[in-house]
Chains A and B, each alone.
Chain A
Amino acid sequence: MKSKWNWRHAALSALLGSTVLAAAACSQGGRSDGAGESGAIELLNVSYDPTRELYEEINPLFAASWKARTGQDVTINMSHGGAGKQARAVIDGLDADVVTLALAYDIDEIAAKTDALAEEWQQRLPNNSSPYTSTIVFLVREGNPKNIRDWDDLVKPGVSVITPNPKTSGGARWNFLAAWAYARETHGTDAAAEDFVRKLYANVPVLDSGARGSTTTFAERGLGDVLLAWENEAFLAQKELGESEFDIVVPSISILAEPPVAVLDGNAARHGTTEVAEAYLRFLYTPEAQDVIGKHFYRPTSDAAKAKYAAVFPQVNLVTIDGAFGGWQAAQKRFFNDGGVFDEIFADAKR
């Protein structure tokens, strides 16, 4: 008899407990942001894959500068992933105040599919809204055992190339376009360029969804002979995992990558964070942030930081997205949308 009473007690408390917990969780479910009662504010920065370390250092600097200016505490929350995937999440309702993505097209998509920001967003901040630039280089294993010097060496039989999926990753799209630009320049025709990238992707054993995934595939899991990487990712891998393990190879031609930033006005207005979100992005152009940007191997745009880090970054012959491909809208449509060149050559490559 006694044990049954205990059971009853246990069952009832379990039920009660779950209800209370459920209620508690629901009340804390939504993000508490905006200039709330406490005076502290939160910003959500949805970013692409490799910028983890960069914003980890920049965010506290901005918080300190904002506090000094306004007396207000600001916490910046981060989300990282492949740029295409991140844009998709924002379109699906990830409630970002600012996006800092790998390429303009993904922010264009957010502008087109939501009413969170205006279509001409890219004119709002200096340098096409890109506080820094980067490019694509090769990371190879110590001593460069496959003797990889330039793009042509990547399409040789027996060379295994690691690059992420252009459908989900911004870096992967820059990789693809850099390869195309090289082949177009060297071999003369679009047909030759298509043939070149077809051979290149036939040498790719695995497509990760973001740049960092590819870096760990190459560096940690030891797959592949060469990683097509953001310059900053290549330097970081060397720094984190040992300079004696990897060499950086700079190809004869690469692409000028401009990862842009934008405030999502609609979301920020709803949160009451418009002002701090604008200030956050403008902060990226300040000497303080530019120095951190250079330190994390992104190419700064301010003259002072450029001069300071000049020795770090090799001189590369860089084509631009506008010059070589007529802008991101055209490039995305031609190469990466469903039924585009990438789908075609990748289907062939896997045949």
Chain B
Amino acid sequence: MTASVYRKSGGARWLVAVALTFMVLFLVLPLATVFAEALARGFEAYGATLTHPDAIAAIKLTLTVAAISVPLNVVFGIAAAWAIAKFDFPGKSLLVTFIDLPFSVSPVVAGLVYVLLFGMQGWLGPWLREHDIQIIFAVPGIVLATIFVTFPFVARELIPLMAEQGRDDEEAALSLGASGFQTFLRVTLPNIRWGLFYGVLLCNARAMGEFGAVSVVSGHLRGLTNTMPLHVEILYNEYNFVAAFAVASLLALLALLTLVLKSILEWRFGYHHGSAGH
């Protein structure tokens, strides 16, 4: 009813035009620029910059960081969402609040926290150095910072989904004699798989794209602790624009891939953000 009213007034068309204009101006054009700049000197130069040892090191590091932080966040996210959605316990709302903390804390602060904790002037720094363990300005610090900023993605996706599904299925399985683990694998997991996949997708995109928190703890050692976003900045600052945009284009491709996967999920399985079902 309302829709037809809008259609008659032309309001819908106008709104769509505004939205499209904004999208083209602020999303499509900048993205197109990234690819145009990256290919400014042809495909050969593009390939050459991406096979430079420093670029390969940055790509490898980014993949490593995502490969560690995403699975850990999956485990944590499922555990937290399960506990919150299916059980009552004291401190539950506190836990929910803490899960959201990384969303409300600036990434720079997230990085500084680890410097204060593990830095030489911090609590654990001198002890770590004595035992020859390097956390900040090395890969472990980058992983920690990434886990911090990507912490809520999986849990946030699963909590409403699991809460909506209730406990009936699990209770039925348990009463039929399934063990807790069996119940989880055969009842809970299939029920949440699309929500989980969606959470993983977002978590992964952020893990690979994070700049602020990682920048604070990285130390910017070329070929050692530069992730792709940090490497883009370095290349840009060295007037190496083709290389900077080439690496940026990989990140943009990742974003596009995430977008496509997300759309397929929504379209194929009728999964909608924040709502139940598959």
Contact = CB atoms under 8 A, between A and B. Distances in A.
B185 A25 contact: no
Interface in B175-217: 185-186, 189-190, 193
Contacts of B133: 29-30
A4 B191 CA distance: 11
A89 B114 CA distance: 13
B74 interface: yes
B139 A29 contact: yes
Interface residues of A, number: 38
A95 B134 contact: yes
Given A7-B190, A53-B238, A93-B129, A113 B121 contact: yes
B138 A31 contact: yes
A94 B119 CA distance: 9
Contacts of A26: 140
Nearest to A28: B139
Interface string A1-24: 001100110010011011001100
Contact of B222 (A77, A114, A241): A77
B245 interface: no
Given A7-B189, A78-B222, A92-B120, A240 B136 contact: no
B153 interface: no
Contacts of A15: 71, 75
A306 interface: no
Contacts of A213: 237
**Most chain-B CB neighbours within 10 Å: which of A17, A94, A114?**
A94
Interface residues of B, number: 41
Interface in B61-103: 64, 67-68, 71-72, 74-75
B140 A212 contact: no
Interface string B121-132: 110010001001
A92 B221 contact: no
Given A18-B68, A25-B143, A44-B221, A92 B136 contact: yes
A26 B53 CA distance: 22
A94 B137 contact: yes
A314 B67 CA distance: 54
Nearest to B128: A93
A94 B74 contact: no
A25 B64 contact: yes
Contacts of A89: 137, 219
B272 interface: no
A174 B44 CA distance: 42
B74 A14 contact: yes
A244 to B, nearest CB: 16
Interface in A95-121: 95, 113-114
Nearest to B66: A21
Contact of A18 (B67, B122, B137, B219): B67
A229 interface: no
Contacts of B221: 44, 77-79
B185 A92 contact: no
Given A14-B71, A14-B74, A30-B134, A92 B119 contact: yes
B251 to A, nearest CB: 19
B236 interface: yes
B224 A77 contact: yes
B34 interface: no
Nearest to A4: B186
Contacts of B239: 240-241
A195 B74 CA distance: 58
Nearest to A31: B134
A127 interface: no
A8 B193 CA distance: 12
9 contacts: A4-B190, A11-B189, A25-B64, A53-B238, A80-B234, A89-B137, A93-B134, A94-B219, A114-B120
Closest CB pairs A-B (n = 8): A18-B71, A92-B119, A93-B120, A240-B239, A29-B140, A30-B134, A94-B137, A29-B139
Interface of A: 3-4, 7-8, 11, 14-15, 17-18, 21-22, 25-26, 28-31, 44, 52-53, 77-81, 89, 91-95, 113-114, 212-213, 216, 240-241
